[in-house]
Amino acid sequence: MATTPPATPNDPRDDAFLREVDEAYREDVFRNFFAKWGRWILLAIGIGLAALGGWFWWQAEQLRKTEALSEQFTAALSKVENGATTEAMAELGKVAEAGNPSYRSLAAFTKAGIALNGGDTDKAIAEVQSVAKDTETAQAFRDAAVLKQVRLEFDKLAPAEILKRTNPYLTGDNPWFPVAGEMAALAHLKAGEPDKAGPLFYRLASDKRTPDSMRARAEQMAAALGQDVTKIAEERKQQEEAAAKAPPAETAPVPAEEAAK
């Protein structure tokens, strides 16, 4: 009568053989895969490394160019301070042509200041207008340019035009409110609308962001136009307490009072 052969323990030599077969199979699969795709994989790795190296080079080159522009712009400012305006204008022209939107705007503002000191208001207006229309530069620069242009053209503009240009900066917590608010209030007076100018002057006087000299003027105008200015100090204190509890907020890179000069 036949019987089932007794089970025997696994032979270690069998395990070694199976491992060798498995490793040989894996190596064969890898060789076939690499033979088919290896060149493309190496090409992809090469392209990736080249792209990464190019990116690092580009970053270093941009930093080098920015540092060079900074030195060039600083040199131009030194020439302005020393009265060498002709040389400064030439240097600022090179800065503006370098292709950096921020330094292009800074150069234009500086050239506008030189033009104003020389009595050429039209030239100054053209410079700040170029910043206002520059879609590549930062919005803060464009806003500063818009308000600077309104200030330079104020006497020639109709009140309605002044109010149109300043209106976007009068609502909410816009950082440009002090500059825009004062011009808008004066435009209302120019238009014979003291009832609209008064509340704006009051807002300016009670707003903690308004520079001290502008706040003093606004409070005097608000009082002269019938506004009750006795509560201004209390309102400013409440704003300061609220601001102390709130997280830090971003501020405009150009001080409001400086941009209006």
Residue 217: is its pLDDT beyond 90? Answer: yes
Identify which of 212, 217, 209, 206 has the alpha carbon closest to the alpha carbon of residue 183.
217
Q: DSSP string of 101-113?
A: HHHHHHHHHHHHH
Residue 21: is its pLDDT beyond 90? Answer: no
Residue 161: is its pLDDT beyond 80? Answer: yes
Q: Which residue has the higher pLDDT, 115 or 56?
A: 115
pLDDT tens for 109-127 read: 999 999 999 999 999 999 9
Amino acid (1-letter code) at residue 31: R
Predicted local confidence at residue 50, as pLDDT: 72
- In percent, how much of the chain has pLDDT > 70? 70
Q: Which residue has the higher pLDDT, 98 or 184?
A: 184
**Quick one: pLDDT band at residue 239, thresholds 50, 70, 90?**
confident
Give the pLDDT mean for 206-228.
Answer: 90
Residue 1: is its pLDDT beyond 60? Answer: no
d(CA 216, CA 196): 19
**Residue 101 Cα distances to 97, 143, 207, 255, 259, angstroms:** 10, 14, 32, 20, 18
* Cβ atoms of 235 and 222 closer than 8 Å: no
pLDDT, averaged across the chain: 81
Give the pLDDT mean for 7-34.
Answer: 60
Residue 221: CB atoms within 10 Å = 23
d(CA 191, CA 232): 26
Give the pLDDT mean for 12-18.
Answer: 58
